[in-house]
Structure 1
Amino acid sequence: MGKRNQHMEEEIYAEPVHFEHLDAPPRARTAKEMTFDSLGEFQKYIKDESGDNEFDSLNLHVKYMPPFIANQIHGNDEKIKPQMNSLNKKFRRHLHHHVKRHLLPEISRMSGIDYDFKKVNEGFSHNLYGTTSEYKWQFMDDSNHGFDENEYSKRNHWKVEVEVESDSNGPYVNVDFKATSLNNQPEEE
């Protein structure tokens, strides 16, 4: 019975909170630049820092294998095919679908904020020697994130940038998530 109660508490804690109103920012910031190896850890950190009221000051990086590739190879890295990379149109189409339908909405859900990400840039870039190429998507939300303007009397405006990058060397995806305050000091009345 003790395990069941513990499991129920974990399920209750695992559900992210949706913010209806902005609170004043914390006096002491504990969020720092972090790098993750799994999408789950990345999302959990966003949820935890949002719960600590630090959703406006995050700099996170994650490198992971997209779920549609993980499902194809069934955990066996030897099943990774040479065409599973950014040079393949089908791979890019599936990755774009994953980003738009799963990654960005999950970031919004875990942070508890109604982000409205807009695509800023998309395309190939090549390294200096021409040996690899990267396909990048850049998304940004510098709107009010679903809050009224009067909510920002308690807190500075912030912007969120998400950069998703996949290269020609394999199926792994790099995601950079950056939330930064647009002002240094909160507004005083």
Structure 2
Amino acid sequence: MAGKNKKSKSDSLPLDLDNIKPMDHLQAIPKSRSSSITSIESSDGELSQVLQPPPIKEFDDLEQFEAFIRDETWDNDFDYCHGKLHYYPPFVLKSCQSNTEKIKDTMNKNSKKFRRDLQHHIKKHLIKDLEKCCGYELNFDKGEIIETPNKLTWKFKDYTDHGFSKEEEDLYNRHWHLELDVSCTNDSAMVDVEYKSTPVM
């Protein structure tokens, strides 16, 4: 009898934020990661190993994006993933009863109410939900706000130990940095999220 087929990412389990178990302990780096390491020769002739950036997965649905983060943790790739999300936040959909044709033109970065609602969504929902999906602590704190005439971006970085001891991180050589960017423009109520988890070699 043939072995079981691997479950594809598209067959992902439904997302249930209330029943995601946190990660208790780190594990060894997946062996599949070695295919992403390349050698680069420096100008003085020395070879050094470099990890290629993780492939970017793009989403237009918040729940699918969060399921991707959860699945990367389940696959032990929590420290090597890159996802982008382009979506209408729940507060926007609620205001137009999920009919995107009824979204007001004024719902964009120039609206104080939109900015306030988006900041609330980021702090009270998005980051907390991502933390559940990751299964470990996210320490994004305040973040940096960058505004240009056309765009408003919240930039968060987490270079902490994510709730694991230094000894455990050293044991498995699992040190990683997280970056989360959330941006909106003056054109529409669409919001862009970029989540990047990068190993420190």
- TM-score bracket for this pair, using the shorter chain length: 0.7 to 0.9
Deviations 1:87-133 (A, max 9, x none): 1111000000000000011111011111111333103123xxxxxx1
Instruction: List gaps (5 residues or longer) in structure 1.
Output: 1-9, 127-132, 184-189
Instruction: List gaps (5 residues or longer) in structure 2.
Output: 1-12, 37-53
Structure 1: 4+ residue segments shifted above 3 A: 10-15
State yes or no: 1:105 paired with 2:128.
yes
Query: Which of 157, 167, 173 is residue 140 of structure 1 equivalent to?
Result: 157
Whole-Å Cα distance in 2 between the matches of residues 19 and 79 of structure 1? 41
2:182 is matched with 164
Q: 1:27 to 1:13 in 2, by over 3 A?
A: farther
Whole-Å Cα distance in 1 between the matches of residues 29 and 21 of structure 2? 17
How far the C-alpha of 1:11 sits from its partner, in A, is: 6.9
Contact kept, 8 Å, 1:159 with 1:179, in 2: the verdict is yes
Deviations 1:24-83 (A, max 9, x none): 111104963100010000000111110010000011100010101100101222211121
How far the C-alpha of 1:13 sits from its partner, in A, is: 8.2
2:21 is matched with 17
2:43 is matched with none
Contact kept, 8 Å, 2:26 with 2:174, in 1: the verdict is no
Q: SS where residue 92 of structure 1 aligns?
A: helix
Whole-Å Cα distance in 2 between the matches of residues 12 and 116 of structure 1? 23
How far the C-alpha of 1:170 sits from its partner, in A, is: 0.7
1:3 is matched with none
1:121 is matched with 144
Q: SS where residue 32 of structure 2 aligns?
A: coil
Contact kept, 8 Å, 1:166 with 1:172, in 2: the verdict is yes
Contact kept, 8 Å, 2:15 with 2:67, in 1: the verdict is no
Contact kept, 8 Å, 1:22 with 1:155, in 2: the verdict is no
- Note the aligned Cα RMSD (angstroms): 1.9
Structure-1-length-normalised TM-score: 0.83
What one-letter code is carried by the residue in structure 1 that aligns with 2:95?
Q
Whole-Å Cα distance in 1 between the matches of residues 115 and 123 of structure 2? 12
Q: 1:12 to 1:166 in 2, by over 3 A?
A: closer
Aligned residue pairs total 168
Structure 1 range deviating more: 147-156 or 117-126: 117-126
Structure-2-length-normalised TM-score: 0.78
Q: SS where residue 119 of structure 1 aligns?
A: coil
How far the C-alpha of 1:12 sits from its partner, in A, is: 9.8
Contact kept, 8 Å, 2:85 with 2:192, in 1: the verdict is yes
Contact kept, 8 Å, 1:16 with 1:111, in 2: the verdict is no
1:87 is matched with 110
Question: What is the percentage of aligned positions where both structures have the same residue?
Answer: 33
2:167 is matched with 150
Whole-Å Cα distance in 2 between the matches of residues 89 and 56 of structure 1? 35
What one-letter code is carried by the residue in structure 1 that aligns with 2:20?
P
